Amino acid sequence: MRVASSGTRAYPYEITNPADCYPVTIQAFKDSLRKPNSKEDEFLSLIIAAATAYAENVTGLALISRTVETTRDFIPLGESEGYYLDGCMPFSAGDVGFNVGYELRRTPVQSVTSIKYLEANTIDSYVTINPDNYYLAKSQAGNFSSVLSRTSEAWIDVQLIKPVLNAIIITFIAGYGNNHQSVPADLRMAILQHAMQIYFNRGDCSDCGCADSLPPNARSTYANYKVRNL
C-alpha cells in the first residue's frame, strides 16, 4: 500500500481473484533438489509460496496475473488522483475540476476490466464508465501504469457521482500472465534460488524466508526489477 503524503489517504488495493499458480512449479523445484518423490510436495509448495511472496513484496511486482480492485473518491485530479484531501469533500462540484489520471500502483497492468462510480441520489447503485472515455498507459520498467482520459475534459459529468468516499471502483488485471512461463526467466530463477536457500537452511534462518541470506544472484535480480515507489 502506498504511504500517504500529508493531507491524502493511502490507496486501498484488494485482490478479488488471486493468482492460481506460482512462477516456479513444484516439478522444477524438485528437479533442482533432485527429489523425484512426492512425499514433500506440500512442504515444497509452502516454500515456493514464501519465496514468491518475498519476491513480490521486495520488487513491488505482481508476477502471475490476478484481479485487483481499488477505490477512489472522484474523477482524478493532478495532485490527488481521485482522493478528497484529508478525507474532506469539496465545497462544490466545481472544486473537483478536470482530471489527469489514476495511477495503478500494482504492476505490470495487463488491462482495466471496469471503472464504476456510485450514482448520485442513490444508496448503492453503481454505473460503469464507458471505456471509450479512458485508456491504459502501460508502465515502462520501474514505473506504474496509469488510466488516462482520452480528452482534456472530465471523464464524466461530476454531478453524476455521489460525493462520498470510495465512490469510484477500479478493477484491473495485474501480472505478467496466467502461467509460470509468462514470468521473466531471471525472476523465476531468482525465486527458485531463494526457495532452495530456504529448503537447505530451514531452521537456521533469522526469519521465516531466509531473506537475510538471500543468494546474491537473486538479490541483484530483485533489485533490477524493483518498482520505484515514490
Question: pLDDT tens across 182-224, in order?
Answer: 999 999 999 999 999 999 887 666 665 666 678 899 999 999 9
Phi-psi region of 87 (alpha: psi -120 to 50; beta: other; left: phi over 0): left
**What is the per-residue pLDDT for 165?**
86
- Can you tell me the mean pLDDT for 146-167? 79
1 occurs within a structural domain: no
- Joined together, the cell numbers standing for residue 93 give 462540484
CA torsion sign, 150 to 153 to 154 to 160?
Answer: negative
106 and 35 share one domain: no
45 and 85 share one domain: no
**What is the per-residue pLDDT for 80?**
53
CA distances from 139 to 12, 30, 104, 111, 218 (A): 20, 35, 10, 12, 23
- The one-character DSSP state at 119 is B
117 and 75 share one domain: yes
122 and 194 share one domain: no
* pLDDT level of residue 5 (50, 70, 90 thresholds): very low
* pLDDT level of residue 142 (50, 70, 90 thresholds): low
166 and 211 share one domain: no
115 and 212 share one domain: no
**What is the per-residue pLDDT for 85?**
47
* pLDDT level of residue 2 (50, 70, 90 thresholds): very low
7 occurs within a structural domain: no
The most confident of the ranges 77-86, 92-101, 198-207 is: 198-207
Tell me the residue type at 9.
R
Asked if the model's pLDDT at residue 117 lies above 60, the reply is yes
71 and 121 share one domain: yes
**CA-to-CA distance for 36 and 104, rounded, in angstroms?**
42
102 occurs within a structural domain: yes
* pLDDT level of residue 227 (50, 70, 90 thresholds): confident
19 occurs within a structural domain: no
Residue of higher predicted confidence among 148 and 81: 148
pTM of the model: 0.81
31 and 113 share one domain: no
149 occurs within a structural domain: yes
The domain of 151 spans 66-174
Domain count, the chain: 2
- Can you tell me the mean pLDDT for 127-145? 83
147 and 217 share one domain: no
136 and 97 share one domain: yes
14 occurs within a structural domain: no
10 occurs within a structural domain: no
180 occurs within a structural domain: no
84 and 132 share one domain: yes
**What is the per-residue pLDDT for 86?**
44
87 and 137 share one domain: yes
